[in-house]
Structure 1
Amino acid sequence: MFEDRIGQRTNGLKGFWAVLAMAVLLGGCADMGQQQQQPEPDTAAAASPSSDAAGANAASEQPVATAPVTRVVTKTTYVRVRRGDTLQRIAQKHGASVKDLSAWNHLKPNGHLRAGQSIKLVSKQTIAVQAGGAANSAANAAGSREVAAEVARHANSVTLVWPAHGRVVELFAPGATRGIEIAGKAGDPVIAAADGKVMYAGMGLNEYGSLIIVQHNKDFLTAYSHNRRLLVKTGDTVHQGQQIAEMGSENNDRVAVLFEVRRDGKPVDPMPYLPSSPQS
């Protein structure tokens, strides 16, 4: 069985990148198609007095712009502990209190930290949005712009959260497995490990079953395989912690999500990029 898994992972590598390349190509073609199919303006209608009147009426019916209001949003990030770090030092560096850090991470205030451990930071940010129904769309647009900027830049690392709560039933092994498998029950949530753009969502590879690929920056992407149901589509912007799929057993002999981290196209061990446990 283990040899079968190795063969599937190895044979799936070329197909994985072929699917991703096709997704990028199709995305570009779709944009071009939309541009080419734009209708020509109707000059006759534009010169018509009735259309002028209709335009004036439509303009008068448009809602009056409202003044922007402020909105407080909560953001969760993770930092990796370096040798010699303490909770007090991390708290001072990031403008938090030791008490809050301890509570967020279920640690004792004087507890020992180990190098490589992930520490959760929770912050509140105030953003300006339009009042009324435009508030959510304005906030979403701002979030999408931030993610797009991050996806477009190079990065030396990526801070991830666990894509599922469950037991790790298969570890990463260079040349043998290309990620880790986290077991669970059919329908359990699979979440985005970090903000990013969905580069692919579909059934393009038999070895992977129902697959989602999320690009986080120019150097890192994550992949989520064997899902029962996909909740996002190619081109979507996703945020860390957002549910993107339901766990399943598509083209797999158990209910689990195969989670991969790839840096510059090469599979790397996801564990160093994740908090110490799925419950962290």
Structure 2
Amino acid sequence: MRAGRLNRSPFCLMLCLLAGLLLAGCSGSKSGSDGSYSGATYTVKRGDTLYRISRLTGTSVKDLARLNGISPPYTIEVGQRLKVNGASGSSKKTSSKSTRTAKVTPSSAVPTSSWPPVGQRCWRWPASGKVVLPYSTKDGGNKGIDIAGQRGQPVYAAGAGKVVYVGNQLRGYGNLVMIKHSEDYITAYAHNDKLMVNNGQSVKIGQQIATMGNSDADGVRLHFQIRYRATAIDPLRYLPPQGSKPKC
């Protein structure tokens, strides 16, 4: 997704958002058995993304693209053999662990000064539950938070706005809802079970928009993003303390 104000037509907006989310990656995705990995090369299988391959091999998304001459939007083909950095099984585990425990800090590529001030908008938690994967600043890291829960648990709009996307065309995100809150803000809700809103529908803050599920995820969870001027920012900086109501 390219930076800039999101003031294009809803269709163009949806395409830009989908491309941006694809590049951002979502660590809760699943796609069956792993592709063939020899330690020096990886053979792409159906459902793979560069981010998922990065997690499996311990090679950063940036290095995968560089080693294999892959340019944005980072399209890969089933059966394609990718060079990796030859990480061992133990280093792969270390890579996954370090991603899960990544510090919740702004990305060096996006200075804190460019993020909106806390309290500029009123947000509420989209679901209750433990945050099992925080926002990450790593290359190809999680650009939102993953909240664990129970199947059928309500998912709420984090703010008032207009639904700009409902569907499951983006591989790795399952049943996805996107809400535009202004020219600057959009939120995304992934891995849902049942979707309860339609494209173009106006929603209120706290309105139920879906039920939690595990579509394209290893377990029942909600992947939640806040995007400010097309940049994914850390939701935990802007949400109120969990269990409390927003003071606005």
Instruction: Compute the TM-score of the two structures, normalised by the length of structure 1.
Output: 0.45
Instruction: Please name the residue that 2:162 is paired with.
Output: 197
What is the letter of the counterpart of residue 128 of structure 2?
H
What is the letter of the counterpart of residue 183 of structure 2?
K
Deviation, 1:22, is: 8.3
Q: Secondary structure at the match of 1:205?
A: coil
- Structure 2 residue 176 is matched with structure 1 residue 211: yes
Q: Secondary structure at the match of 1:249?
A: coil
Identity %: 39
Distance 1:167 1:237, change over 3 A: same
Instruction: Please name the residue that 2:131 is paired with.
Output: 168
Q: 1:265 aligns with which of 206, 230, 245?
A: 230
- The one-character-per-residue Cα deviations of 1:114-168 (angstroms, maximum 9, x if unpaired) are xxxxxxxxxxxxxxxxxxxxxxxxxxxxxxxxxxxxxxxxx87322100001111
- The one-character-per-residue Cα deviations of 1:92-117 (angstroms, maximum 9, x if unpaired) are xxxxxxxxxxxxxxxxxxxxxxxxxx
Write out aligned runs for 1:171-186 (5 A).
171-175=134-138, 176-186=141-151
Q: Distance in 2 between matches of 1:181 and 1:158?
A: 21
Instruction: Please name the residue that 1:158 is paired with.
Output: 121
Q: Distance in 2 between matches of 1:25 and 1:177?
A: 24
Greater Rg over alpha carbons, structure: 1
Write out aligned runs for 1:40-79 (5 A).
none
Q: 1:158–1:220: 8 Å Cα contact kept in structure 2?
A: no
- Structure 2 residue 11 is matched with structure 1 residue 24: yes
Write out aligned runs for 1:66-105 (5 A).
none
Q: Secondary structure at the match of 1:267?
A: strand
What is the letter of the counterpart of residue 162 of structure 1?
W
Q: Distance in 2 between matches of 1:186 and 1:161?
A: 20
Which is bigger in relative contact order (C-alpha 8 A, separation at least 6)?
2
Deviation, 1:193, is: 0.4
What is the letter of the counterpart of residue 177 of structure 2?
I
Distance 1:273 1:186, change over 3 A: same
Give the ranges of 4+ consecutive aligned residues of structure 1 lying more than 4 Å apart after TM superposition.
none
What is the letter of the counterpart of residue 11 of structure 2?
V
Q: Secondary structure at the match of 1:204?
A: coil
Q: How large is the Cα RMSD of the aligned pairs? A: 2.4
Q: Secondary structure at the match of 1:193?
A: coil
- Structure 2 residue 238 is matched with structure 1 residue 251: no
What is the letter of the counterpart of residue 134 of structure 2?
L
Q: 1:211–1:224: 8 Å Cα contact kept in structure 2?
A: yes
The count of corresponding residues between Structure 1 and Structure 2 is 136
Q: 1:23–1:234: 8 Å Cα contact kept in structure 2?
A: no
Q: 1:178–1:268: 8 Å Cα contact kept in structure 2?
A: yes
Gaps of 5+ in 2: 3-7, 15-115
Q: Larger % of strand: which?
A: 1
Gaps of 5+ in 1: 1-12, 15-20, 28-154
Q: Larger % of helix: which?
A: 1
Deviation, 1:204, is: 1.5
- The one-character-per-residue Cα deviations of 1:61-90 (angstroms, maximum 9, x if unpaired) are xxxxxxxxxxxxxxxxxxxxxxxxxxxxxx
Q: 1:167–1:184: 8 Å Cα contact kept in structure 2?
A: yes
